[in-house]
Amino acid sequence: MFSRIRGNKAFSGLLALGMGTIGAQLINLLVQPIITRLITPDELGLYTFIISVANVIIPIASLKLNMLIVVEEDDQKAHELTVVSLISVLLMATVSFFIVIILLLANYKPFVTIGLFIIFIPIIIVTNGIRFTMISHNNRLEKYSLIAKVDILREFVKGVFQVVLGLIGIGTFGQTLGYAISPLAGIKVQSKDFIEYIKKSKSIHYLNLTLRVIKENSKHILYLVPAQLINSFSYALITISIISLYSPKEAGYYSISVMVLGLPLVLVSNNVGRVFLKEFSNHYNNGKPIWGIFLKFTTILFLISSIGFIMLAALAPQFTQVIFGENYKQSGNYISILCLMYAFRLIASSVNGIYIVLQSQKMEIIFQILLVLSGIIVHLISYYLKLNVYEYLWLITSTYGFIYMLNLINMGYLSKKMGRNTN
């Protein structure tokens, strides 16, 4: 069996990447209970806000050109895409720096709260932008084991930095520094082939190259960048709202709840999503019925999600106090409230590959826009009615949960409608 796995590049690559993800997640899980005993919820909240803002920009920092590195057939063009991706990352980080400075000078509450720590936002964008560009470069070369090993190394480096600096008493600064520096771990070995290309290149006119590559891939950029920005902002919006409406302490509690609630998405949704996408696309491409596939997977996911999140909602207030310490007992209450939203999100995110197969990506963007709009509306309602954080979270879980449910219904409708056309 193992010899067959080694002989199958696709399967062995997936296995290597999967093991890397599991290893990195295990390190994170082991480190978090230590960190929560070394820093306060306020410090964790500030740290969470910084990385949340950075993570809005990181996925679009390369203008999504890093995706094309993997699929480009011509090696020369792939190297050029890598160069322009890195240039774009640096430019986006620079623009982000000026934007956060302007928001700070304009006395926007969240940025005033974190003060000079905002300097980490462009730094995190640069280091992670380089990281993801090099991962795409390695992915193209099918260096899956290298990607997995470096992922584990980076999580280890981040954990060591955060724990050691936490012991010293450097709270938000230590956590953010670890997050900013860790993407550079292993970057030299990951970029070895690319550096060789740069050395062999006699001369590169970077401005002309950048303009040409952007022009050649303008449709790709114009379609994917706005969609990704909306997607990233919809996830960061809640953290930004909580620290804006309340305080870093509540953002710290929310950070722990998201980490716990996100585990089922990593362990169930990502893996089930891959299997579903493969089976659904095979049936669709071969003219077989697809409604049954959708129904089978969503039924199984509904049972898993319902049982899992009901149990989590009941046990969360007790186990968060035990695992993360007395200071984070409040996170358990947040988890109980947010379970409804995450239950629907787990099912919807597991089967959203439907939009790719049926070429209906615009529908996914519409639902992401609905999430952003509902998040903004809930923020305004909470601000003007002076709702407490629990009331805010109940509004969020209700509105977001309803939108995820509508998304599921829409995917089911498309499966039934398009399924008729394939029969």
Q: What is the pLDDT of residue 5?
A: 47
Instruction: Give the mean pLDDT of 253-265.
Output: 87
**Tens digit of each residue's pLDDT (9 = 90 or more) over 272-281:** 776 777 777 7
Whether residue 247 lies inside any domain: the answer is yes
Q: Does residue 63 sit in the same domain as residue 74?
A: yes
Domain end residue (candidates: 216, 247, 275) = 216
**Tens digit of each residue's pLDDT (9 = 90 or more) over 176-210:** 999 999 999 989 898 888 888 888 776 778 888 89
Q: What is the pLDDT of residue 270?
A: 64
Domain end residue (candidates: 169, 191, 216) = 216
CA distances from 323 to 170, 179, 255, 310, 318 (A): 22, 22, 14, 19, 9
Q: Does residue 193 sit in the same domain as residue 263?
A: no
Q: Please, which pLDDT band fits residue 392 given cuts at 50, 70 and 90?
A: very high
Given a contact cutoff of 8 angstroms between Cβ atoms, the answer to whether 221 and 63 are in contact is yes
Number of domain units in the chain:
2
Q: Does residue 130 sit in the same domain as residue 265?
A: no
Whether residue 315 lies inside any domain: the answer is yes
Q: Does residue 303 sit in the same domain as residue 193?
A: no
Whether residue 389 lies inside any domain: the answer is yes
Q: How many angstroms separate the CA atoms of 146 and 157, rounded?
A: 16
Query: Is the pLDDT reported for residue 7 higher than 70?
Result: no
Q: Average pLDDT over the chain, rounded to whole?
A: 86
Whether residue 7 lies inside any domain: the answer is no
Select the more confidently predicted residue: 277 or 263: 263
Whether residue 347 lies inside any domain: the answer is yes
Q: Does residue 149 sit in the same domain as residue 257?
A: no
Given a contact cutoff of 8 angstroms between Cβ atoms, the answer to whether 132 and 62 are in contact is yes
Please give the residue range of the domain that contains residue 121: 13-216
Q: How many angstroms separate the CA atoms of 344 and 301, rounded?
A: 10
Question: Which of 92-96, 214-218, 271-275, 304-308 is the least confident region?
Answer: 271-275
The phi and psi torsions of 247 (rounded to 5 degrees) equal: -155, 170
Q: Does residue 333 sit in the same domain as residue 376?
A: yes
**Tens digit of each residue's pLDDT (9 = 90 or more) over 125-148:** 999 999 999 988 888 887 888 888
Q: How many angstroms separate the CA atoms of 170 and 336, rounded?
A: 31
Rounded percentage of the chain residues whose pLDDT exceeds 90: 38
Q: What is the pLDDT of residue 14?
A: 61
Q: Does residue 143 sit in the same domain as residue 89?
A: yes
Whether residue 421 lies inside any domain: the answer is yes
Q: Does residue 284 sit in the same domain as residue 168?
A: no
Maximum pairwise Cα distance, the chain? 66
Instruction: Give the mean pLDDT of 388-409.
Output: 94
Select the more confidently predicted residue: 200 or 214: 214
Which helix (H) or strand (E) covers residue 160, if one does? helix 144-168
Q: How many angstroms separate the CA atoms of 357 and 416, rounded?
A: 14
Query: Is the pLDDT reported for residue 422 higher than 70?
Result: no
Q: Does residue 206 sit in the same domain as residue 345?
A: no
Q: Does residue 68 sit in the same domain as residue 210?
A: yes
Whether residue 210 lies inside any domain: the answer is yes
Q: Does residue 346 sit in the same domain as residue 405?
A: yes
Spell out the residues 6+ positions from residue 91 whose beta carbon is closer than 8 angstroms to its own.
none
Whether residue 5 lies inside any domain: the answer is no
Domain end residue (candidates: 181, 216, 251) = 216
Q: Does residue 288 sit in the same domain as residue 411?
A: yes
Query: Is the pLDDT reported for residue 10 higher than 70?
Result: no
Find where tokens 């322009």 sit. 84
Q: How many angstroms separate the CA atoms of 146 and 188, rounded?
A: 12
